A and B are shown apart, each in its own frame.
Chain A
Amino acid sequence: MKNTEAFAESLARCGVKYHFAYPITPATDVMKRMAVILPNYGGEMMQMESELAVSSALAGAACTGKLVATSSSGPGLTLMHEAIGFMCAAELPCLMIDSMRVGPGDGDILGAQSDYYVATRGGAHGDYHTIVLAPSSGQEIADIVPQGIRLAYKYRTPVLFVIDGVSAQTTESTTLPDYYDYSAEFDTADWAFTGTQDHPKRALITGSYSHQDGFDMNEKLRAKYATIRENEQMWEQDQVEDAELVVAAFGIHGRMCRDLVFKMRAEGKKVGFIRPISLWPFPERAFTALPDSVKNILVVEMNHGQMIDDVRLSVNGRMPVHFLGKTGGDMPMNTLAEMIAEANRILGE
């Protein structure tokens, strides 16, 4: 099945009850599939009239403690940020999918990884973060959705899955999870807004608070984000122990790194790879732990260089960090041959 559909199936099978969305390529297949399957799980997909309405309805439903989700692409995510910032301030769990496409502006419907900045830095105001997970295959989507739900509820925060539009529309075989409502592992009784029959009045105020309340809220969030940074860095790596060159890439280019390393190692070249899976928190530890054998890092992205900033911050000047990237065109990404050529060029320097 298409990976967009793998998202929909995984969300529904893992306990998502309500999905709000507005059509946009290349994310639309998620909402279409949700519209068909969610009623079988006692839920519903509701198509809204704009992404502003989508994220606001998402926030309203998330207030009840139930598991809610949305799916969109770059221009839609831009509009959703008002309520994403709200949900971070209000500490509401939800799942979001950004099927990234070429931008800026309304961009093109071709796949890209151009939303790295907006995903990891946030598009709304104030000091906040969303957890950002970047699966690179249909199987990883199925495997990572339960983890995303647990993180969303454990930390009471929106979790954003980012996938480039090429991977999103790739068709591949995926083993889907059996039905299990992961959100039921978490008790929402002490915070959900369900009416005062079982608790005294609760008020969700994320603005117009007293100065001290605002400070306390921000400090609470700061401490939460520090805990997430400490405990939730996720990545895959291979062959870095004796590597001279490490290739760092996420999503589809990260997946291609396996072949790159296999081919170059077969030629006796000491190349390894790091594939970040959590983009926020960024897996800094993967880079700080690199052995002294590593003389260069090559970052490959489907954009003009966004994750490279986090790689540079992580290595903090220990070694040069190079970049290879492409976005748009008939082939909106670098080929494996181009990646290998650039790796060889750096090794030969």
Chain B
Amino acid sequence: MENLSSKYGKTLNLDKLTSYCPGCGHGTVTRLVAEAIENLGIMERTVSIVGIGCGGFSHHYMDIDAIEATHGRSPSFAIGYKLARPDNIVFTYAGDGDTCAIGLGDLLHAANKGMPITTIMVNNTVFGMTGGQMSPTTLEGQVTTTTVGGRQVPHQGYPLLVPEMMRAMPGVKYLARESVATPKAIRKAKKSIQKAFECQIKGLGYAFVEIIVPCPTGLKMKVKDSYARCGNEMTDYFQPQVFKDETEQNDVA
């Protein structure tokens, strides 16, 4: 295979075929993360801590040190790592199930601690790897294998708005929600991911980016339809926006 690293840089490992399903949003997000690391010149000191689920495979496509944490615990792993090696750049990468179902407690406390670590939460509103069960972010009325009649708010609660929960935390210095629904949205997502890493490089505090993506397999949809849903119902509820950007302030770098 032709080596494309002269075009895409060394962080992205282009020698491997990805295990993501065709049309999966993880492919785009993984590439954006790799490009941010490449652009910032931090590849050699960056460590990825991934969760369990499809997002756990993201590090396979990057030539950086990587640790697969236990279910939901990657933020606490990252806290321990950063304390022991503050000069390294550490980020967590996981889906909505790992990050905000089993891992919500670890996530919010890591955010509130305000240590300079970066979290990428890829939200496709479903448990992809285990075969399409309800996640905390499953939309009202959304059919999954465990909400066969659609998610009922009186029983299963509201789809969880994670950055909104973090907004009041002073330790969170960069906070955004983006999507990969359109090329324009992808360009914005790229910027936010890069900012989230810059926030850490400058030592400012915690940075979090949620990215709304399609999971054609888990949603049992055609790729085209799943992107349409991503650009409509999903982003209607999970509205992309930069909630907080304090990366230009208090620069201690």
Contact = CB atoms under 8 A, between A and B. Distances in A.
A46 interface: yes
B84 interface: yes
Contact of B59 (A50, A68, A195, A203): A203
A204 interface: yes
A140 interface: no
B65 A86 contact: no
Given A205-B68, A207-B52, A46 B77 contact: no
Interface stretch (B22-30, B43-51, B93-101): B43-51
Given A57-B76, A86-B70, A64 B84 contact: yes
Contacts of A190: none
28 contacts: A46-B83, A48-B76, A49-B105, A52-B76, A53-B106, A56-B70, A56-B80, A57-B83, A59-B80, A60-B78, A61-B83, A63-B67, A63-B80, A66-B84, A68-B84, A82-B73, A193-B65, A194-B47, A195-B45, A196-B63, A196-B64, A197-B45, A201-B64, A201-B65, A201-B66, A203-B59, A204-B68, A208-B56
Interface string B74-90: 00111111011100100
Interface of A: 17-18, 20, 44, 46, 48-50, 52-54, 56-64, 66, 68, 82-83, 86, 193-197, 200-208
A196 B44 contact: yes
Contact of A57 (B65, B71, B77): B77
A268 to B, nearest CB: 58
Contacts of A86: 69-70
Contacts of B202: none
A60 B68 CA distance: 10
A193 B70 CA distance: 17
A56 B83 CA distance: 13
B76 A197 contact: no
Given A60-B79, A201-B65, 20 more contacts: A17-B84, A46-B83, A48-B76, A53-B105, A54-B76, A59-B80, A63-B77, A64-B85, A68-B80, A68-B84, A83-B73, A193-B81, A195-B45, A195-B64, A195-B65, A196-B44, A200-B63, A203-B65, A206-B68, A208-B52
Contacts of A18: 80, 83-84
Contacts of B187: none
Contacts of B56: 208
Contacts of B63: 196, 200-201
B220 interface: no
B229 to A, nearest CB: 28
Contacts of B59: 203
Max chain A Cβ within 10 angstroms of own Cβ: one of B44, B84, B106: B84
A174 B43 CA distance: 48
A99 B78 CA distance: 27
B45 A60 contact: no
A196 B88 CA distance: 11
Contacts of B52: 207-208
A59 B77 contact: yes
Interface residues of B, number: 34
Contacts, number: 122
B109 interface: yes
Contact of A60 (B43, B60, B67): B67
A83 B49 CA distance: 14
Nearest to A83: B70
Nearest to A49: B109
Max chain B Cβ within 10 angstroms of own Cβ: one of A50, A63, A201, A208: A63
A208 B66 CA distance: 14
B88 A194 contact: yes
Max chain A Cβ within 10 angstroms of own Cβ: one of B45, B60, B83: B83
B66 A203 contact: yes
A196 B85 CA distance: 14
A83 B105 CA distance: 16
Interface in B207-234: none
A52 B84 contact: no
A63 B81 contact: yes
A195 B88 contact: yes
B230 to A, nearest CB: 26
A152 to B, nearest CB: 15
Contacts of B76: 48, 52-54, 56-57, 60
A195 B81 contact: no
B38 to A, nearest CB: 13
Contacts of B45: 195, 197
A18 B79 CA distance: 12
Contacts of A195: 44-47, 64-65, 88
A115 to B, nearest CB: 21
A251 to B, nearest CB: 30
Contacts of B64: 195-196, 201
Contact of B80 (A60, A194, A204): A60
Contacts of A59: 69-70, 77, 80
A208 B50 CA distance: 12
Nearest to A207: B68
